[in-house]
Amino acid sequence: MPDRKTLDVVGIGNAIVDVLVHVDDDQIDNFGLTKGTMALVDEAQAEALYAQLGPGLETSGGSAANTLAGIAQLGGRAGFIGRVRDDQLGGIFAHDIRAVGTRYETPAARDGASTARCLILVSADAQRTMCTYLGASVGLDPGDLDLEMVAQAKVLYLEGYLWDSDEAKQAFIAAAEVAKANGAEVALSLSDAFCVERHRDSFLALVDGHVDILFANEMEITSLYRANSFEEAAEQVRGRCRVAALTRSELGSVILSGDERYAVEPFKLGALVDTTGAGDLYAAGFLHAYTQGESLERCGQIGSLCAGQVVTQLGPRPQVDLKQLVQQHLGAPAL
């Protein structure tokens, strides 16, 4: 990767404010939701659901946004592209991602739908079930893209959730072309098993044709290849992209690249509080190490450590010093 790049990772994703609410499993059933997944709702559904929920805690979120915030916290040069409205939640989103040092310059929309919200129902076992109102974020179109920023990145990172919006999908494809033309690698997170179900064919084509680094959890990768087991899915994805980083919750993660395979242990740093952001922070740690030229195994370890931290707290943005955490558990990089 050439030195002249001024950014390590640029991400494109939905710009979302999370509303975290504690629930019991009965409530999730009563709402007709499937535990551990993300469902899309419109504004009226979001309001109706919110009205039935207990008190919440609001925090900036969004899958790729969490990843880019994490990269900045790790000391990486990070940029994010995503669309908010010029409302209070939009202001909170923009503040928080900039406050950790992520470049964020997408202009806030002056009219139209309000800033996206995700109601995150946190169960007693720390699992999260999400209902997302995409609001202003789906209006992201190629015109909103800061292509200069994309051109400056070593890696362009995309969340699979973008596929739920035609405009955002077009914006992504445009950005991927600019990234490729500028020698960047393209990374994709599959985001959610139901998201894979909704967009399997286009994800399959994308992985084969455009993706250098793929992030997926066990459910997502088995869904993508309609595999009967994790190992079967791992065999399917091998060789289709340069690197596949497959996360398996308490089983840790597996990294595949050509003939190489690394198994990475999970980190248990405390009681499990809320799994929101686990995958996002795995990608943050992995990509930060990757763009610093570290080994794939160490990329996985740093990803695993960041994921292990975020599940011990409420919300998807680490409330600790990630740099210090890495130093403490994994020592200085081999560089």
Question: How many chain residues touch a second copy (CB under 8 A)?
Answer: 28
Residue 43 Cβ, how far from a second copy at the closest point, in Å? Answer: 12
Among 128, 154, 199, 317, binds a second copy (CB under 8 A): 317
Residue 185 Cβ, how far from a second copy at the closest point, in Å? Answer: 28
Say whether residue 58 binds a second copy (CB under 8 A).
Answer: yes
Binding segment for a second copy (CB under 8 A), chosen from 127-135, 170-178, 188-196, 314-322, is: 314-322
Say whether residue 222 binds a second copy (CB under 8 A).
Answer: no
Say whether residue 69 binds a second copy (CB under 8 A).
Answer: yes
Q: Nearer Cβ to a second copy, position 285 or 315?
A: 315
Q: Nearer Cβ to a second copy, position 247 or 312?
A: 312
Q: Nearer Cβ to a second copy, position 115 or 222?
A: 115
Binding segment for a second copy (CB under 8 A), chosen from 52-60, 168-176, 181-189, 262-270, is: 52-60
DSSP 36-84: T-EEE--HHHHHHHHHHS---EEEEE-HHHHHHHHHHHTT--EEEE---
Taking 3-state DSSP, the helix, strand and coil percentages for the chain, each rounded to the nearest 5, stand at: 45, 20, 35
Contact 116, 135 (CB under 8 A): yes
Tokens of 226: 């309609």
- Which 283-312 positions form the footprint of a second copy (CB under 8 A)? none
Alpha-carbon 300 to chain mean position:
15
Say whether residue 53 binds a second copy (CB under 8 A).
Answer: yes
DSSP 253-303: EEEEETTEEEEE-----S-----TTHHHHHHHHHHHHHHTT--HHHHHHHH
Provide the mask over 73-112, with x wherever binding to a second copy is found by CB under 8 A and - wherever it is not.
Answer: --------------xxx--x--xxx-xx------------
Say whether residue 56 binds a second copy (CB under 8 A).
Answer: yes
Residue 126 CA to residue 311 CA, distance in Å, equals 8
Q: Nearer Cβ to a second copy, position 124 or 332?
A: 124
Q: Nearer Cβ to a second copy, position 154 or 317?
A: 317
Q: Nearer Cβ to a second copy, position 50 or 262?
A: 50
Contact 300, 245 (CB under 8 A): yes
- Looking at residue 163, its amino acid is W
Binding segment for a second copy (CB under 8 A), chosen from 27-35, 45-53, 148-156, 174-182, is: 45-53
Tokens of 111: 């009219």
Tokens of 281: 């922070």
Q: Nearer Cβ to a second copy, position 116 or 186?
A: 116
Say whether residue 60 binds a second copy (CB under 8 A).
Answer: yes
Please report, to the nearest 10 degrees, the dihedral formed by the alpha carbons of residues 227, 229, 231, 234 taken in order. 30
Say whether residue 25 binds a second copy (CB under 8 A).
Answer: no
Tokens of 212: 């250098």
Residue 227 Cβ, how far from a second copy at the closest point, in Å? Answer: 38
Say whether residue 323 binds a second copy (CB under 8 A).
Answer: no
Positive or negative torsion for Cα 166, 5, 323, 335 = positive
Q: What is the DSSP letter of 142?
A: G
Which SS3 state, helix, strand or coil, does residue 98 take?
helix
Q: Nearer Cβ to a second copy, position 251 or 320?
A: 320
Say whether residue 66 binds a second copy (CB under 8 A).
Answer: no
What are the C-alpha distances in Å from 210 to residues 93, 118, 157, 171, 205? 30, 29, 12, 15, 8
- Residues binding a second copy (CB under 8 A): 19, 22, 50-51, 53-60, 69, 87-89, 92, 95-97, 99-100, 114-115, 314-315, 317, 319
